[in-house]
Structure 1
């Protein structure tokens, strides 16, 4: 939890990251919001805890603008094309983030379904003043940039304006205002790896700092201040003074006096608004029982007065006059008034006609903040039966609004909308039933709708998964019959086959929404028995990837095929490699006709076969005919045409074998390693396997290998691993998967890889294969701070005029330095202007330990292959 803030309504606000919360308040109310971040609030004494907004990822600090709007900056999840978000949070809103989206990466809802900074502060109007008055300040860690910007109203929300960087070079995190009007923020300094250093900075904008607020703000609440003076301070230019004054007036019980200020159209606008908030404290605390005198505020000419009055009156005890006055606000033109009216009516409850909420349903639906307010109102004022009746009788946006309100109510009646004619209604109902905690009582209805004609894709995907979750014979039949009824290549057909492959034991992390789930054991034999009744039909599937999946099903659930069919599939060079691979695995279970199978395996292991087929064949040969397998393994290892993955697999099959021939072959490979005659791509595999040996002779040979070379030995990446083992033999595809998906390494949090989009914290790797050798890439992965390749480190240059710059030295000579700042801008700096420089450091942690040596090798293979071709210019193309 972080970012405590005193709100203008007198409550304490703070945020929590996306591990979520499960809280019981002191009043006994339960708050369960797993897998998501939230903004929370309570009274200063801890009473009335509540979740203000949720579905955010990790807002470090929120800020309130002059009208009490809650603004924050949400960290992104380090996915390609995703950015940090400036968020405007409304009470009760769900911004959609769930922490499992982090782990699912590109397969998650966040990116595929378009659901989609650190310290944050708002200048209160009397602190920095000058050009920065009324600005928001955003500290971008770890870029070391402090940005300032303003917000301007736009439709039902805001747009960012006047964005500019006002400081760079300090890795600021938490920020706060001092009573004297100066800003303070913590400095992380070295970043990662942690160096035990830090600082607190203070800044102002001389000579604009006005210290007239300091005397008032420094007084504790125990010091009495005359009521008349406090009423005058409600219009003070400093937001902090206004809030402080309203809290003091609430403690004095001056609610009638504040209401008088609020109702006075001649009073300053901020005085009226803070008077409303102060009056609202009395309403909220039950000190103002009758709010009738305040209802005229809802007809005020100032729309901001109406918005704030709606907020505070939402916590009053409902009566007919209050309900009617609030209801009138739904008819206003101002979108923020309509939004808040919806939220207020939803909190009050009572009966309000559905039609009063909607002006232009299609237009209203496209405005997210207005939509939230209206849905909140509908959910709080309509019965589930009434909402269902409206959704079923309509086909347009009104049906969607009714559906969203049912979702807010978590109504099981949503299962009755899964056959609706509007695909948006169906998709939203399916999401609500399926995702997160969902609506379990409607899960069967969702499963049964799978395969219905015209079912929209997102609903169909969840219906498919609902059958996997259901896990009984009816669900299995439903999936099988749908698969068999579809033509080859139908969307979701391969996904449905994959569901069958895990039907006996679904993964702990859900395939669609990523939530952790536990399942009771399922009967694998019974699943196989049912699959067997569909076996002939499944084998009629011809598309290669789908057919391979069918054969994989047969392997897993121990089905069978006629021997001649299997043999033909395994030996046919024209058959897709995936199909041949699964055919070999089915053959491997056969106990009879061993000689024929051995012959087929030898053929499949020969040259001209795909690598995965050769590897599987040799692996099976070791179980049936070790002599033939050993001969084939030697043949592959000695072949000049065999691919490195095939040779690596031959080393792998030796693991755990203690027969004389296997040990002899391993010894020969180690001898080649020592003599430096072994394929470079095999060095790590042979070395790792030999280190597991208990043979003293093998250990001596490895010691000789490590101490070969100049200056008494190989250059070591760790006490056990030489660097040369990490540079060759990797799999680029696996390396790409590690770069994009390894949770601990989290490479794309800092690097752009195959495009110019993404994080700018670290250098772009798009052309690293052209810029760096494999040795340099391996060194950057293992020891990022030991020897930083120029342009990759983050350092600080302090100029003689006091300016501090943070970034990377791209090139330099005796006269100048080409310096790339963290904002991506490059400038040439004369050496004569530089007062001091810090050595460059890397914010990247050492990867060896996070990744295995084999994974490091894969990443090197991928990165070294990033050599995009230079696009020829137009004139060259025209000449051709």
Structure 2
């Protein structure tokens, strides 16, 4: 094969990210391809049976495609256990398979229905059965929940924000990841109906009954990871106009997570995420708990990120009733969509691998991952085991085994085994995982008849939390429960037990529990401030900096213990803001100057690339736009925050700041200094992505009070030490008697502080959320002002307005300021008191203002012009690195034949999301002598490889001198190069590139 042909093919492979063998993974794991795109293309989800049979949801519609007959479930079998699927069947044909659970002879599937030639009619949770084990479902799917997403939004866009993954917990519930399309009138097999605005987690029994919302206020989660103790984790995201950042979230039953109306401006009302992790796109999730895996990879949530080509491990540290976390790179693969594990410890990954936004029959594969020393051990055929053997399986160290034997016992209705099961729950020598599994198995088998034994276990501090959870697990089995054990649990020294008890009391539904809940519904001190959650206040903010302009900064930092250097985009959305902090200096009281670079920063976040000392984000030596070299500078890309701990001897900060030579001519930035990171600044992104364990108990207690409808107790508690919790609960109760009582309390009080709190509560109650009918969706950049997305007045609004106007007439200037603050914050729109919102005519959005999905949808409708695209391309930053014609200087990957390898959608994705596509061409080569080089992989064969660096210089290296070749951790190409273009201009550029064949 000629080197020219090799170069073209290798570049095409890099652009489309299809190779399963180019990934870099831990050396103690074995990663191989289990099945290719010939049998499992465009794998949107998968589930692995305990025996290792793999069910793959093939979705050739992807997230934005339309049409029927493009989905199926493929069953893959490795009959000789050599690590390759050697048998496959089409298990069932369903549209948009988005979630699978294999359990016994049943396969639960989340899917849409698209009749031939028609539009999608709905999304459903169904169950398929293969009783004769021939690898094909016995009939049509039996529906368990109908209408679990909104058909209109799926019809208009596709399935990109729809309901996705499903997973079963050891409590036997099926947990469903609902995207922010939400759903209207979802109905279970028992006739129960629910509607949910936005995303969250829904759960249902395996027979389709008892459907209920578990948590709410999530953006677009794709799956859930559930550990043996019923902790649940999601890798969701947010969009506040500053990026689609990933949030790692611990889901706590009844919790409100606030997207999009509360998480920014009403953070005190939510349970925050554990971390904001920057840009990405969370997909499949698994909690690994298998004894065949090394300890360092075991008992951790493993979260796939499609946008980062990575599966991550999150290391968890207990923090009260929740956790703090630390993310670690784990397995690098091409756009992972889902992950699961079987009973012998084989882990499988569904790799989307460049199948695009509308699916591709030639892209995608399934990977198999095992520890290097792993040995296959057949999983027993559970249907042939005795009850006694199944019960012993509850003592297994394998989570897969425990769940599967549990469900087999429940399928058999093996009540005769109940005594042996509860004995495990009572056995203090058994592992806690096994005791918890036994508790929930016992509860599922006996229902309310299990309550007596579980009440006894509620006195055992080792398993108290789970006994309490199991007791209140089914709303149809709580009527006869005594409240005293739950009151005692609320007083526990274990915060997890307290939270479980508060949630349980809200579920039991007896209003006499209200005083006990009010006693713990006390928000942390920081949440009581009448001015709302405090955000960072910058003590320096620059004007917009453009071109060659350099600004001087000179700030007194006496008593400043922490300093955050902040770079914001100047607001032009041009994507060329490769900014630099230039020669920042710390000065002691004696006048001694020390370059800030001598200190090690605490953290550094940025829009893309890396924050680097002495270099800009492209890796070039740092210099100003005019070419002046910068010795002790810091290169970064907005939006960025660099945080330093400041030793006490330094009293001043001085710096010259401006743009580096890597910036576009039209780039602009603003610089700021602050003692704390601002909200929306990256990782953490602010209060909504900062762990706040003290708020969790009062949060769930307040929601329990609302669930109980305990308005009288809350009103009575206004004059008690539970005042703040009572008002917190009351501001969620849209009830005329509540409003009238609050107004009466206000008028009868002389306590100015209390009166202000009541005014705040009434301002929150002035509007409520309009009933959701599914006719609209907030799209990818929703209004985050809150506290409601579609606020409407209601019956008691006139009384609240009258009180505000009466107060205004006699108010002092300070009090008018407070009334104005409330009216604005809660968007009351009171003429003469604060702002009255006007409808602003929408202006044409730029690419940088749109989500990738919206750009792709727009590209379908926009017809590009080749000539205009060629002219536009000549002025874009892409041209600095990529060659268009044969005579161009060779730097990054050639584009002169890109149209022959990629369609319009793939080219657009490569520009918008280079980490998933073009960035794979940029590699790190480590040589056997320890040296390394970075650049575009031009060609590679058995004898040599050729790498071209950013200067356009090609280097040939014999393969005998090459230790490893892997995707570079730092990519040269950023994701915002065409942000300043309109949709029409972007379509022109894509049409031009597609013409290059």
Q: Report the TM-score, using the length of structure 1 for normalisation.
A: 0.53
Superposition pairs for residues 13-162 of structure 1, below 5 Å? Answer: 13-22=175-184, 23-34=186-197, 36-77=198-239, 79-80=241-242, 83-98=245-260, 117-161=282-326
Q: 1:721 aligns with which of 868, 871, 885?
A: 868
Mark the CA change 1:446 to 1:784 in structure 2 (over 3 Å): closer, same or farther: same
Distance 1:178 1:802 in 2: 38
2:347 is aligned to 183
2:458 is paired with a residue of what secondary structure?
Answer: helix
Q: 2:730 aligns with which of 406, 411, 421?
A: 406
Distance 1:142 1:445 in 2: 50
1:7-47 CA deviation, whole Å, 9 max, x = no partner? 1111211111101111233333331212x112111122212
Distance 1:9 1:787 in 2: 45
1:333 is paired with a residue of what secondary structure?
Answer: coil
Distance apart, 1:152 and its partner CA:
2.2
Number of residues of Structure 1 aligned to a counterpart in Structure 2: 548
Q: 2:823 aligns with which of 444, 448, 460?
A: 460
1:243-301 CA deviation, whole Å, 9 max, x = no partner? 12222333212334322321232333222111101112135xx4x43622321111103
Distance apart, 1:231 and its partner CA:
2.0
1:101-121 CA deviation, whole Å, 9 max, x = no partner? 99xxx9x87899998822221
Distance 1:369 1:50 in 2: 21
Distance 1:75 1:57 in 2: 6
Q: Are 1:71 and 1:86, in contact at CA under 8 Å, matched by a contact in 2?
A: yes
Distance apart, 1:67 and its partner CA:
0.8
Q: Are 1:233 and 1:241, in contact at CA under 8 Å, matched by a contact in 2?
A: yes
Q: Are 1:449 and 1:463, in contact at CA under 8 Å, matched by a contact in 2?
A: no
2:712 is aligned to 385
1:130-150 CA deviation, whole Å, 9 max, x = no partner? 421112212222221222223
1:236 is aligned to 396
1:352 is aligned to 513
Greater CA deviation, 10-19 or 846-855? 846-855
Mark the CA change 1:207 to 1:193 in structure 2 (over 3 Å): closer, same or farther: closer
Q: Are 1:172 and 1:187, in contact at CA under 8 Å, matched by a contact in 2?
A: yes
Distance 1:360 1:31 in 2: 27
Q: Are 1:40 and 1:51, in contact at CA under 8 Å, matched by a contact in 2?
A: yes
Distance 1:352 1:113 in 2: 23
Q: Are 2:705 and 2:729, in contact at CA under 8 Å, matched by a contact in 1?
A: yes
Distance 1:377 1:111 in 2: 17
1:620 is aligned to none
Q: Are 2:190 and 2:208, in contact at CA under 8 Å, matched by a contact in 1?
A: no
2:884 is aligned to none
Q: Are 1:67 and 1:273, in contact at CA under 8 Å, matched by a contact in 2?
A: yes
Q: 2:405 aligns with which of 226, 230, 245?
A: 245
Q: Are 1:307 and 1:336, in contact at CA under 8 Å, matched by a contact in 2?
A: yes
Mark the CA change 1:363 to 1:140 in structure 2 (over 3 Å): closer, same or farther: same
Superposition pairs for residues 831-842 of structure 1, below 5 Å? Answer: 832=959, 833=962
1:311 is aligned to 469
1:700-725 CA deviation, whole Å, 9 max, x = no partner? xxxxxxxxxxxxxxxx9724636447
Structure 1 or 2: more helix by fraction:
1
Give the number of the structure with larger relative contact order, counting CA–CA contacts within 8 Å between residues 6 or more apart. Answer: 2
Distance 1:210 1:720 in 2: 60
1:373 is aligned to 700
Distance 2:385 2:699 in 1: 41
Q: Are 1:180 and 1:211, in contact at CA under 8 Å, matched by a contact in 2?
A: yes
Distance apart, 1:80 and its partner CA:
2.4
1:865 is aligned to none
Distance 1:200 1:252 in 2: 40
1:225 aligns with 2:385: yes
1:518 is aligned to none
1:465 is paired with a residue of what secondary structure?
Answer: coil
Structure 1 or 2: more strand by fraction:
2
Q: 2:767 aligns with which of 424, 434, 440?
A: 434
Q: Are 2:978 and 2:986, in contact at CA under 8 Å, matched by a contact in 1?
A: no
Distance 1:178 1:441 in 2: 55
Greater CA deviation, 191-200 or 116-125? 191-200
Mark the CA change 1:785 to 1:119 in structure 2 (over 3 Å): closer, same or farther: closer
Mark the CA change 1:352 to 1:193 in structure 2 (over 3 Å): closer, same or farther: closer
1:19 is paired with a residue of what secondary structure?
Answer: coil
1:657-676 CA deviation, whole Å, 9 max, x = no partner? xxxxxxxxxxxxxxxxxxxx
Structure 1: gaps (5+ residues): 468-478, 483-491, 508-715, 731-746, 752-770, 821-827, 858-880
Distance apart, 1:360 and its partner CA:
8.6
Superposition pairs for residues 526-545 of structure 1, below 5 Å? Answer: none
Superposition pairs for residues 444-455 of structure 1, below 5 Å? Answer: 444-450=798-804, 452=808, 453=811, 454=815, 455=818
1:237 is paired with a residue of what secondary structure?
Answer: coil
Q: Are 1:192 and 1:844, in contact at CA under 8 Å, matched by a contact in 2?
A: no
Mark the CA change 1:787 to 1:30 in structure 2 (over 3 Å): closer, same or farther: closer
2:487 is aligned to 327
1:2 is aligned to 164
2:337 is paired with a residue of what secondary structure?
Answer: strand
1:52 is paired with a residue of what secondary structure?
Answer: strand
Mark the CA change 1:238 to 1:848 in structure 2 (over 3 Å): closer, same or farther: same
Distance apart, 1:830 and its partner CA:
5.9
1:481-531 CA deviation, whole Å, 9 max, x = no partner? x4xxxxxxxxx4xx33xx4x66xx999xxxxxxxxxxxxxxxxxxxxxxxx
Distance 1:400 1:92 in 2: 20
Distance 2:255 2:768 in 1: 17
Distance 2:956 2:456 in 1: 63
Mark the CA change 1:818 to 1:409 in structure 2 (over 3 Å): closer, same or farther: farther
1:297 aligns with 2:460: no
1:157-199 CA deviation, whole Å, 9 max, x = no partner? 11114x3212224221111223442111221212657665432
1:851 is aligned to 983
Q: Are 1:185 and 1:202, in contact at CA under 8 Å, matched by a contact in 2?
A: yes
Q: Are 2:921 and 2:937, in contact at CA under 8 Å, matched by a contact in 1?
A: no
Distance apart, 1:363 and its partner CA:
4.0
Q: 1:266 aligns with which of 429, 435, 438?
A: 429
Distance 1:266 1:272 in 2: 9
Highest Rg: 1 or 2? 1
1:173 is aligned to 337
Q: Are 1:123 and 1:134, in contact at CA under 8 Å, matched by a contact in 2?
A: yes
Q: Are 2:925 and 2:934, in contact at CA under 8 Å, matched by a contact in 1?
A: no
Q: Are 1:4 and 1:13, in contact at CA under 8 Å, matched by a contact in 2?
A: yes
Q: 1:255 aligns with which of 403, 418, 428?
A: 418
Q: Are 2:487 and 2:516, in contact at CA under 8 Å, matched by a contact in 1?
A: no
Q: Are 1:318 and 1:348, in contact at CA under 8 Å, matched by a contact in 2?
A: yes
Mark the CA change 1:375 to 1:786 in structure 2 (over 3 Å): closer, same or farther: closer
Q: Are 2:337 and 2:349, in contact at CA under 8 Å, matched by a contact in 1?
A: yes
State the superposition RMSD in angstroms: 5.0
2:210 is paired with a residue of what secondary structure?
Answer: coil
Q: Report the TM-score, using the length of structure 2 for normalisation.
A: 0.48
Distance 1:446 1:321 in 2: 40
Q: Are 1:793 and 1:808, in contact at CA under 8 Å, matched by a contact in 2?
A: no
Superposition pairs for residues 473-872 of structure 1, below 5 Å? Answer: 479-480=831-832, 482=833, 492=834, 495-496=835-836, 499=837, 718-719=865-866, 721=868, 723-724=870-871, 793-796=918-921, 809=935, 817=947, 832=959, 833=962, 851-853=983-985
Greater CA deviation, 290-299 or 339-348? 290-299
